[in-house]
Structure 1
């Protein structure tokens, strides 16, 4: 059985889930228009605007620290990261 409480407490999973919901809504709107259920049509301008809004939202959330670092258990920095004087080189 899926433990939804645990899934929704993981911010990375929630962000992925929300993104997938946007994709599902887009596909449903395109399909509804294709079979004649609605006159609404997703144009490239609407799609572009939607992606810009989502990207801006997640950019703000990341800046605020809401997007979790997957290498830590919580939203805080690890003890090792707190001791850095400058960003650690990836090389």
Structure 2
């Protein structure tokens, strides 16, 4: 199980998750963020990504890598982490 409530309270996790979706799409399209100069261009790139199984696979792998906690066995958070109501602030 993953403590989604706490993860989404952490801005670092939100940024990491957003980048894990956006970067593979832009890389496959051969674009950079500077190339997205209008909403129609952005929606066209995203629409193309959702119609391409290879890009969806790249996004899925990237999201998996952003979500998984490599310090624990399996894909779950530890029992201690599941008790958290907010991210730890001490950096430990």
The question of a shared fold, defined as TM-score above 0.5 by the shorter chain, is answered with: no
Greater length-normalized contact order (CA 8 Å, ≥ 6 residues apart): 2
Q: Say which one has the larger Rg.
A: 1
